Chain A
């Protein structure tokens, strides 16, 4: 498959799967304000998904639009990183997952603003403003919960230690990523990873949380379609309607 299409699917699938996960918390947030924030972030991510997948489908030229790509692909055709498919778990896990993703997402969109593919640069410009809010909020919450009570601190540290091994996959560049960098479409990994680590370490320090080693062994596989069992369950719910009633429309 064309590297750029593959790359667009990765962007779109990351946003889509995290959006779906956050949507599952609608009505279940620990406080009304959190509930609204989670669903608003989910909505932003869903909007971004549409822009990425629409572009991927157009480039592919096989008649697959955003909906076909979202609802008619099975787990092994999904290209999201393993981080976003990790379970919502406790609120500490939800927020650590969000913070790690938001930090990468923020610097990634910032890098894509300079993409020499104008359509990608436009999508990044639109997304970047939204992601700024997401990261500001998740950083605030990491500090509040990390530097909170003994219980919240302990839960945050455990969540961080458990999820850390999923934070590195976005920085393990493969042939697709490297092709995008060479073509001037995507930012190189070094600056991106340095910016990520700097922001994460600043926030974690203020949150009184111990940062795991950046050189720790990292999980990988999602970008190549090798997923954890969690993705199957997420898709089973998300795709149910189109699987049961193919082609159904509102």
Chain B
């Protein structure tokens, strides 16, 4: 493909096609980790925020973003990591949440940005586990199995009606 200048909107839409490496049904844009796209001269700068600080997918995501933009003919791509404000599941798009559910992962059910729920929550009893809907049968009759799941961003739940275990993408 011939190199060509692309608008910022075009870059955003291309990034919307870059899948998360661990949950491929959701794009990095829907996940809410792309914070900014801008030009510095002829170089396109993509600002990304990590989900969890130890998330091993971040390096793969950086490479996937760079590769995708190169494939669309952008030669100069720079990735910048931004820690603050810290990523929150509130930045996940509705499209992303629907895709998660279709994939069998219950999407985050609360607004995490209400910090009181998270930050006041080390006192025993102050934190109430949210009501999570089973992505398989739609029942709200579910139970937390483990606060940590297959990745740091997920918890393990089970449905007490259809008896299926499932992942829940935690509010963070």
Contacts and interface: CB of A to CB of B under 8 A. Distances in A.
B3 interface: no
B121 interface: yes
Contacts, number: 84
Contacts of B85: 125
Interface string A125-165: 11111101101110110010000000000000000000000
A43 B83 contact: no
B124 A206 contact: yes
A202 B123 CA distance: 9
A4 B145 CA distance: 42
Contacts of A169: none
Interface in B75-115: 83-86
B150 A36 contact: yes
A33 B121 CA distance: 21
Contacts of B119: 128, 132
A106 interface: yes
A126 B123 CA distance: 20
B83 A51 contact: yes
A interface, by DSSP: helix, strand, loop or mixed? Answer: helix
Contacts of A123: 83
Interface residues of B, number: 27
Given A135-B122, A136-B122, A125 B84 contact: yes
Contacts of B172: 129
A132 B118 contact: yes
Given A36-B146, A129-B172, A139-B122, A121 B53 contact: no
Interface residues of A, number: 36
A122 to B, nearest CB: 4
A9 B170 CA distance: 31
A27 to B, nearest CB: 15
B147 interface: yes
A51 B127 CA distance: 29
Given A132-B118, A202-B123, A47 B53 contact: yes
Interface of B: 50, 52-56, 83-86, 118-119, 121-124, 127, 145-152, 156, 172
Given A37-B148, A126-B86, A129-B86, 10 more contacts: A36-B156, A41-B148, A43-B152, A44-B53, A46-B54, A123-B83, A126-B84, A128-B119, A136-B121, A143-B124
10 contacts: A33-B156, A41-B148, A46-B54, A123-B83, A125-B85, A125-B86, A126-B84, A132-B119, A136-B121, A136-B147
